[in-house]
Homo-oligomer: A and B are copies of this chain.
Amino acid sequence: MKKHNFSAGPCILPQEVFKEASQAILDYNDSGLSVIEISHRSKDFVDIMEEARSLALELLGLEGKGYKALFLQGGASTQFLMTAYNLLQTKAGYINTGSWSDKAVKEAKLFGEVLEIASSKDANYNYIPKGYEVPGDLDYIHCTSNNTIFGTQIKDFPTSNIPLVCDMSSDIFSRQLDFSKFSLIYAGAQKNMGPAGTTLVVVKEDILGKINRQIPSMLDYQVHISKGSMFNTPPVFAVYTSMLTLRWLKNLGGIAAMEELNEKKAKLIYSEIDVNPLFKGFAAKEDRSNMNATFTLINENLKETFDTMCKEGGINGVNGHRSVGGYRASMYNAMTIESVAALVDIMGDLERKA
């Protein structure tokens, strides 16, 4: 049976990437060696790393604009502390739009004053705060572009002269933005870019080196930049597979083509949620995420029936996060519109049955 993988992350990747990665584990490029047994200093791997870094900048439209791309380890959770370690001298402003923002705030507080300049915690993060003021004396502003758990997405980012740092883990490469408005972008690979195990960091070099704090080498962006993202052994397989996914994205037409598809998928499911009397959306309509649609059954008694229908239809990973409940359909770049249609059909079938 065909599976439709709506998992929130790690999650679906393009089928052709699975095939190519699987083959490379056996024999990379007809070398007679696996991609995971070659030296990371070999030409073969250095080429992979350089292609991954260069594709990331190219797809984001940031080539030649003073940015560097790094493939690090430790997930966004490590970036919560690294951003503060490298950038927080006195005071930083955080926009709290969900659990991940909240965790970022917690880690940053170890390094300086943290001001929550806006928060939607009061309504279990079901909306994106707007109309807040940005103080002028901040080292940086931190935000989370997409909130996987709650299904909200920032459409308008704060504008100011203060460096903007953004956790784009769950929507990078999914929509067109002027990425040059951000001074630092980070994203765990395991949604739109690759398998778990590497984190993309895109940083504008001129914001670094401005604080009075000694930074351990592995936590220092400048160290990683100076070594071409190879200060120590990189997570070879995760970088290789991310590179394959970025190649796939470029061949499809880049972020513009992807955005078009993502909008179609999102429209399909949100229309069903709004039309079908059995379901209710969780997030405020104007802040809905194109990556993660969160919704609940109005009548909880239908849960077992709906869950069984999903299982029989090959629908995987639609259980909501415990802090929201209900359902969450994650529709990252590699998800086809056919898979979203399969879920929407089941939602319609439930209405006809009930």
Contacts and interface: CB of A to CB of B under 8 A. Distances in A.
Interface of A: 1-3, 5, 7-13, 18-19, 21-23, 25-26, 31-34, 36-40, 73-78, 80-81, 103, 106-107, 110, 188, 190, 195-198, 214, 216-219, 231-238, 241, 314, 316-317
A238 B235 contact: yes
A10 B219 CA distance: 22
Contacts of A188: 233
Given A10-B37, A36-B195, A73-B197, 13 more contacts: A2-B32, A13-B36, A18-B25, A18-B36, A22-B22, A22-B23, A74-B78, A77-B232, A107-B218, A190-B233, A196-B233, A196-B234, A235-B235
B235 A197 contact: yes
Contacts of A196: 36, 40, 233-237
Contact of A195 (B32, B80, B237): B237
Given A33-B5, A73-B235, A188-B233, A219 B22 contact: no
Q: Which of A23, A103, A190 has the most CB of B within 10 A?
A: A190
B13 A37 contact: yes
Contacts of A106: 217
Contacts of A8: 39
A196 B10 CA distance: 19
A11 B37 contact: yes
Given A18-B25, A37-B13, A217-B77, A237 B7 contact: no
Nearest to A314: B32
Contacts of A73: 73-75, 78, 197, 235
Q: Chain copies in the assembly?
A: 2
A249 to B, nearest CB: 17
Contacts of A197: 73, 197-198, 235-238
A316 B33 contact: yes
A199 to B, nearest CB: 9
B25 A21 contact: yes
B218 A74 contact: yes
A79 to B, nearest CB: 9
A195 B236 contact: yes
Contacts of A237: 195-197, 237-238
Given A10-B39, A197-B73, A237-B195, A214 B33 contact: no
Nearest to A106: B217
